[in-house]
Structure 1
């Protein structure tokens, strides 16, 4: 059952070829409101952009 209440989002770094030792090439904002159905909602070039987008996503009421 989906979680009710406010949205929750987190950011995660994107590494080239999923190798954690390689440089970060971007950032994902992930909707974790329903832990059983996490969804990537946006992609960003910088961590700062991703943080702003995650905060804005959590404030949306759609």
Structure 2
């Protein structure tokens, strides 16, 4: 299974409560602070909902 490196690049100010909760669930607390997760269907769904706030890279 592939790993994803997820980095928050835009502020969550003005985002909905659900988007903020999803950021928290991914472990994103500060801007430009990357986290790594396995590319499970649940994580990929979260990433798709937040694609305007985050950047995603595949890690080998």
Q: Give TM-score scaled by structure 2 length.
A: 0.27
Higher radius of gyration, 1 or 2: 1
Higher helix share: 2
Higher strand share: 1
Whose RCO is larger (CA < 8 A, sep 6+)? 2
Q: Give TM-score scaled by structure 1 length.
A: 0.26
